[in-house]
Structure 1
Amino acid sequence: MKKRKQWLMLVCIALAVCLVSGGMLYIRQKNNNKKWSLIYIPKTEDGTNDFWTSLISGTRMAAQECGAELEVLAPEREQDVEVQNKLLEEAIEKNPDAILFSPSSFDASDELLQKAKDKGIKITFIDSYTESNIQDMTVATDNLEAGKQLGEYARTFLNKDSQIAIVSHVKGVSTAIEREQGFREGLGDYNKNVVDVVYCNSQFDKASQLTEELMEKYPNLEMIAGMNEYSSVGAARAVQKHDMEDQIQVVGVDSSQEAVQLMEKGVFKGIVVQKAFKMGYLGVTETVRMLQGKPYDENVNSGCQLVTPENMYSSEIEKLIFPFNTIK
């Protein structure tokens, strides 16, 4: 009788294990086959900006490959925090499985993002992040490292008396803070030679205007460093307009076809290029992995590369500065 009870107990345990295993397998298969709903809110969808165009293309290709539904909601201007937050509210009302977000402000969206989390919506930051650690995942360039690469390269054109100015994009946003910090670290003891920092609010024309004001204010200026595509290209346009490329060295972050042309003409001395398409692609694929319950990395570095007139036409660099919508 005792042996029979033990046998029955073993059979029950085995059945329970089978039921649990079968249930977990069913859930896993169901998650793998589910058509996940994603909403991506970048800082802008601007056809004149190669970085955002390439990044958004990456998200769309990844969504197609993963069988996910992706909606892109974007402000017209990168610095329009109010519109971005309205789009975030709209996204929360739609209750997707995940919201992918590129915050234009370091703290203005935290309350809304918490509201999304409270509804069970997963949050992935792409390109930048906010003050509170609210996200489930971040996919971005290591902006400190990007700035440091730029600063170390820029230093090779300078001496102890050189005057340097920084044209940045949006004051207070994480990418601007970290790139400037990294750039100063890369400059080393030449950091003390930075005479001014200005912000163009991610507008080409504003960056050009500010650069012209800097050239007038500091007639001995020897270098201008732009911290994103708008600020870098805008600064380079102003330097070229005034035929100052022999006196003022221009370096920057982010590439575009115009930036490549300006480098060919000797205006840009170096650009740190982000892998924008890869960033967008990984933002979606890693979010889907997270939703499926698979292992994922909470912090994904999408990488960057220093491009100079000497290496710009090597095969690997050409893939980066002439994007063909492929993972690099």
Structure 2
Amino acid sequence: MKKRKQWILLFCIALTVCLASGAMLYVRQKNNNKKWSLIYIPKTEDGTNDFWTSLISGTRMAAQECGASLTILAPEREQDVERQNEFLAEAIEENPDAILFSPSSFDASDELLQEAKEKGIKITFIDSYTESNIQDMTVATDNLEAGKLLGEYARTLLNENSRIAIVSHVKGVSTAVEREQGFREGLGDYNKNVVEVVYCNSLFDKASQLTEALIEKYPDLEMVAGMNEYSAVGAARAVQKCGKEGGIQVVGVDSSQEAVQLMEKGVFKGIVVQKAFKMGYLGVMETVRMLKGKPYDENVNSGCQLVTPENMYSSEIEKLIFPFNVLGAD
């Protein structure tokens, strides 16, 4: 009788293990086969900005490859925080599996993001982040690294008396803060030569106007550094318009076809290029990996590369500055 009870007990344990294993396998297979619903809210979907065009293309390719449903909701202007939050509220109502978000403000979206979190929606930040540590994952360029790389290169073009101006994009946003900090670190003791920092609110024309004003205000200005595509290209346009290509050197972050052309003409001396397509691609792929319950990295650095007139025609660099045919260099 006692032996019979032992056999029954062993059978029950074995049955329980089999049922648990079967349930786990079922859940795993279900997760692998599920069509995950994703909503991505970038800062803008601006056809004149190669960075966002490339990044969004990367998200779409990844979604197609992994069979996820991806909806893009984007303001027309990068600094339109109010419209971005309207899209975020709309996305929360849709209740997707995950919201991928590129915050235009350091703190204006935190309340809505908390609401999404409480509903069980996973949050992935792409490109930038907010003040509160609310995200499940961040996929971005190391902006301190990008700024420092630019600053170290800029220093080689200057002397201890050179005067430098910074044209940044949106005051207080994480990318602007970190790139400026890194740029100053890269300049080293030349940091004391930064005469002024201005913000163009990610508008090409405003960046040009601000740069023209800086050129007039500081006749001995030797360098302008732009912290994103809008500010860098806008600054380069102004330097070219004023006929100062020989006297004022322009460096910046982000590439575009216009930036490449301006480098060929000698206006840009150096550009730190983000791997935008790769950033968008990894943003989606790693989010789906997270949703499937697989191991994932909470902070993914998508990388960056310094492009100069000396290396711009190498095959590796061409993959970055003409990003629409390839995923991007590793």
TM-score bracket, normalised by the shorter chain, equals: over 0.9
Alpha-carbon deviations, 1:25-78, whole Å to 9, x = none? 000000010001000000000000000000000000000111000000000000
- Partner Cα separation in structure 1 for residue 76 and residue 327 of structure 2: 27
Partner of 1:71 in structure 2?
Answer: 71
| Equivalent residues in 2 for 1:74-89, closer than 5 Å | 74-89=74-89
Superposition pairs of residues 134-145 of structure 1, within 5 angstroms? 134-145=134-145
Paired position in structure 1 for 2:180: 180
Partner of 2:105: 105
In structure 2, the residue matched to 1:231 is 231
Q: Tell me the distance in 1 between the aligned counterparts of 2:219 and 2:15.
A: 83
- In structure 2, the partner of 1:274 is 274
CA drift at 1:326: 2.3
Determine if contact 1:272/1:307 at 8 Å carries over to the other structure. Answer: yes
What does 1:178-257 correspond to in 2, within 5 Å?
178-257=178-257
Aligned to 1:259: 259
Q: Distance in 1 between matches of 2:110 and 2:82?
A: 13
Seq. identity, %: 88
CA deviation profile, 1:87-118 (whole Å, cap 9, x unmatched)? 10011111111000000000000000000001
Following the alignment from structure 2 to structure 1, what is the Cα–Cα distance between the partners of residues 251 and 142? 18
| Structure 2 unaligned residues grouped into runs of 5+ | none
Supply the AA of the counterpart residue of 2:246: D
Distance 2:294 2:325 in 1: 26
Once the two structures are TM-superposed, the CA of residue 324 in structure 1 deviates from its matched residue by 2.5
Measured on the aligned residues, the alpha-carbon RMSD in Å equals: 0.6
Deviations 1:261-299 (A, max 9, x none): 000000000000000000000000000001111111100
Any unmatched runs of 5+ in structure 1? none
Give the 3 Å change call, closer, same or farther, for CA 325–96 of structure 1 in structure 2. farther
Contact 1:252–1:272, Cα closer than 8 Å, also in 2: yes
1:24-35 map, 5 Å: 24-35=24-35
- Separation in structure 2 between the aligned mates of residue 5 and residue 247 of structure 1, nearest angstrom: 93
Superposition misfits of 4+ residues, deviation over 6 angstroms:
none
Secondary structure of the corresponding residue to residue 210 of structure 1: helix
Q: Confirm or deny: 8 A CA contact 1:275 1:304 kept in the other structure.
A: yes
Residues 216-235 of structure 1: CA deviation (Å, up to 9, x unaligned): 11110000000000000000
Provide the C-alpha distance between the structure 2 equivalents of 1:153 and 1:24, rounded to a whole number of angstroms: 53
Partner Cα distance (1:325, 1:43) in 2: 23
1:76 maps to a residue whose letter is E
Show the counterpart of 1:304: 304
* Mapped contact 1:57–1:325 kept (Cα < 8 A): no
Equivalent residue number for residue 46 of structure 1: 46
CA distance in 2, matches of 1:153, 1:304: 14
Q: Shift of residue 8 of structure 1?
A: 1.7
CA distance in 2, matches of 1:228, 1:115: 31
Residues 277, 325 of structure 1: 8 Å contact kept: no
Equivalences, count: 328
Q: Is the 8 A contact 1:125 1:138 kept in 2?
A: yes
Q: TM-score, normalised by structure 1?
A: 0.99
The Cα shift of 1:194 comes to 0.4
Post-superposition offset of 1:243: 1.1
How far off is 1:325 after superposition? 4.0
Cα shift at 1:5: 1.8
**SS, match of residue 324 in structure 1:** helix
Mapped to 1, the partners of 2:284 and 2:265 lie a distance apart of: 37
CA–CA separation in structure 1 for the residues paired with 2:37 and 2:87? 16
